[in-house]
């Protein structure tokens, strides 16, 4: 569009757009901590790189969850998939090479997504209940698998690829974030597949009437969500040199809050990948800032909860307003 044709009204619309919200809050929080924590290491490049590396698994989960939300589903099982995939990957690494271990771990994600999707479609029960159930099952399996024991990873190529590596000076975890985020962005914004995903979330009846395979697309979205969680499990395992059943345990709330604050609708039809990534980084910054300010883990948890409630409140208000 011609820049001169942008009227004041349109500028106002863009500025007040729901998807712009994350930018305001992101820079507000950044600004806030930068001032409050001016005499600490908060506002340093290495601190931000640390945040990006620490939140890499979360951003991947958030990107995956965006697909589930786009079609109007929620996926509560992603946290448990992180643990199971990490354990399966770590166990396989003791016997085989990286390709098979990675494949096995990702297969955990694909399988869980497939089961979630089939159960939801067959039973016609909400994704909330089904994935709550599978979350419990997978958590149980992950605990059972090694009797709550951790599984160390000594394969250096693996920890390079999924953790500490650097490519052209860029931390590999940031690279993972950008590559997966970039692919997801292209799918949702540029490809017919993304168009159909959003159509299914926006108005499933209309999508079906236009010949879109609604059931299949919902299934793909749930597979994307849990496979992304499985990849997140590998990123945790790579960075921490091992897997443990507690991985991902506390991430569900953070990821949902991040995605919601990033402008993705919790009720389907609107997805924002950039927002999801900024949202997780925002959560990381808040955590980091709270730690540097001397707040406890419990207090950080409260902060996460508050952010989720705010994000949801904005979303619901929007729906009411039409």
Residues within the interface to another protein (CB under 8 A):
190-193, 195-196, 198-199, 202-203, 205-212, 269-270, 322
Between residues 48 and 267, which has the closer beta carbon with respect to another protein? 267
- Separation in Å, CA 126 to CA 112, 169, 197, 278: 16, 45, 18, 28
Q: Rounded to the nearest 10 degrees, how much is the dihedral formed by the CA atoms of 249, 250, 253, 259?
A: -80
Between residues 68 and 173, which has the closer beta carbon with respect to another protein? 68
The distance of Cα 267 from the centroid of its chain, to the nearest Å, equals 16
Between residues 154 and 191, which has the closer beta carbon with respect to another protein? 191
Give least dist CB 121 to another protein, A. 18
Q: Which two tokens stand for residue 265?
A: 């609708």
Dmax (CA) of the chain: 66
Between residues 168 and 205, which has the closer beta carbon with respect to another protein? 205
Give least dist CB 319 to another protein, A. 11
Between residues 128 and 183, which has the closer beta carbon with respect to another protein? 183
Give least dist CB 270 to another protein, A. 6
Distance between CA atoms of 30 and 217, rounded to whole angstroms? Answer: 38
Distance between CA atoms of 99 and 275, rounded to whole angstroms? Answer: 32
Between residues 10 and 94, which has the closer beta carbon with respect to another protein? 10
Give least dist CB 199 to another protein, A. 5
**In the Cβ-directed half-sphere of 187, how many Cα atoms lie within 13 Å?**
21
Which sign, positive or negative, has the C-alpha torsion 14, 19, 24, 26? negative
Instruction: Find the length of the chain.
Output: 322
Using only C-alpha atoms, the chain has a radius of gyration, in whole angstroms, of 20
Give least dist CB 212 to another protein, A. 5
Distance between CA atoms of 220 and 286, rounded to whole angstroms? Answer: 33
Give least dist CB 60 to another protein, A. 21
């Amino acid at each position: 569009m011609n820049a001169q044709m942008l009227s004041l009204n349109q500028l106002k619309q863009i500025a007040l757009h729901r998807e712009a919200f994350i930018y305001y809050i992101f820079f507000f929080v950044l600004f806030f901590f930068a001032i409050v924590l001016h005499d600490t290491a908060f506002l340093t490049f290495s601190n931000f790189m640390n945040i990006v590396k620490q939140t890499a698994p979360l951003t991947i989960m958030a990107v995956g969850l965006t697909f589930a939300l786009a079609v109007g589903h929620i996926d509560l099982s992603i946290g448990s998939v992180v643990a199971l995939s990490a354990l399966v990957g770590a166990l396989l690494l003791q016997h085989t090479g990286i390709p098979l271990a990675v494949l096995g771990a990702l297969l955990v994600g694909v399988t869980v997504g497939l089961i979630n999707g089939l159960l939801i479609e067959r039973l016609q029960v909400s994704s909330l209940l089904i994935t709550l159930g599978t979350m419990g099952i997978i958590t149980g399996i992950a605990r059972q698998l090694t009797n709550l024991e951790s599984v160390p990873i000594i394969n250096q190529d693996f920890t390079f690829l999924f953790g500490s590596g650097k490519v052209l000076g860029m931390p590999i975890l940031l690279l993972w974030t950008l590559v997966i985020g970039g692919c997801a962005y292209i799918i949702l914004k540029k490809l017919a597949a993304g168009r159909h995903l959003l159509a299914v979330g926006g108005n499933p009846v209309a999508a079906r009437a236009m010949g879109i395979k609604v059931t299949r697309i919902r299934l793909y979205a749930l597979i994307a969500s849990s496979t992304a969680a499985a990849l997140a499990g590998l990123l945790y395992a790579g960075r921490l040199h091992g897997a443990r059943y507690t991985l991902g345990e506390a991430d569900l709330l953070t990821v949902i809050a991040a995605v919601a604050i990033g402008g993705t609708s919790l009720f389907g039809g609107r997805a924002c990948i950039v927002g999801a990534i900024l949202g997780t980084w925002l959560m990381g910054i808040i955590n980091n800032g709270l730690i540097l300010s001397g707040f406890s883990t419990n207090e950080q948890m409260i902060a996460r909860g508050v952010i989720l409630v705010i994000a949801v409140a904005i979303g619901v208000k929007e729906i009411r307003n039409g």
